Amino acid sequence: MVAPTVRDSTTAVTLGGTSVVVTKPSGVVEHDKLYLMAVTTTGPTVTPPTDFVEIATRTQGVNIMRLYEKPATASEPANYTYGLSGTSNVEVILVAVVNAKLGLSALDVAVSVNSSGVSGSTLTALGVTTSQVDCLLLAFGGIQAVSDFTSNDGLTEMEDGTFTTSGYDEAPSAGATGDRTFTATASNVWIAMLAAIAPIPPASDPEGQLIGGKLVGRGLLGGVLT
C-alpha cells in the first residue's frame, strides 16, 4: 500500500468579480486526483471547470464552500476558470494528490462538513472514520472576513489565502481520525471540511493489479482507466 501524498497546491482570489483563474499545480500527471475548494458569496450560480464533480457543500452566513474532485488526464490545461453568474468574492484552492485510489473518486468516506453561525476564530473540520490504512486527510477552512490562519492538530499548511485556508495530514491507521482545526486572526462565522483520500490498493489486491502493464483500479469503465 502506497499512501497518497500532496503533489502541489495553488490558490487564487477575485474580489467583486465574475470568475477566478487558478494555475494548475506543478508536476500533475495522468491519474493524479485534483481537489478544488471554492468559497463564494451566496446568490450567483457557479460554473466549475470541466469534469470537476462536486463532493461536498455547506452554506454559512453569506458564504458557500464547495469541494470538487477530478481525476487528472494526460492533457490537463495550464489553468482552470471558476465562473459565476454574478459578481462575488471568490477564492479557490486547488490541490493535486499522487498515489490516490484510481477511478472517478478516491474518497474513502464521505467528506465531513461543519460550520458555525456564531462568530469565532477556531475553524473545526470534524474528524471522519476511515475504513482503511494510509489515507491522506485534506482539511479546508473559510471565514467571512479577511484573515490569516494557523494550521493545528498535525496539519501541514498548504495554502493560506485571503479568507480561506487548507492543510493536510496522514491517517496511517484505519478508524477515527479526530478533528483538525485552523486558528484565524479574524473572528466571524466560518465553514470547514475534511476529506479522507484512499490509497492505491497493493498489487495483490484485484483492485490494484497490473494488467497489460497498467495499474487498474475501480475506474476501469469500458476498458478505459478513469
- Cross-strand bridge partners of residue 62: none
| Per-residue model confidence (pLDDT) at position 203 | 58
Domain assignment of residue 184, yes or no:
yes
Query: Residue 207: helix, strand or coil by DSSP?
Result: helix
215 within a domain of the structure (yes/no): no
pTM summary value: 0.90
List 171's β-bridge partners, or say none: 135
The pLDDT assigned to 1 comes to 72
Say how many domains are in the chain: 1
Q: Where are the alpha helices (DSSP H) in 45-137?
A: none
Q: What is the mean pLDDT of each run of 10 residues along the chain (226 residues)?
A: 94 96 98 97 94 98 97 98 96 98 96 98 98 97 97 97 97 97 98 97 54 42 39
Provide the domain limits for residue 65. 5-203
Q: What is the pLDDT of residue 201?
A: 81
Domain-embedded: residue 14: yes
Distance CA 109, CA 196 (A): 6
Q: Is residue 9 part of a domain?
A: yes
Question: What was the pLDDT predicted at 113?
Answer: 98
In a domain, 222, yes or no: no
How many H helices and E strands in the chain?
Answer: 0, 18
Q: CA-CA-CA-CA torsion for 198, 205, 202, 166, nearest 10 degrees?
A: 0
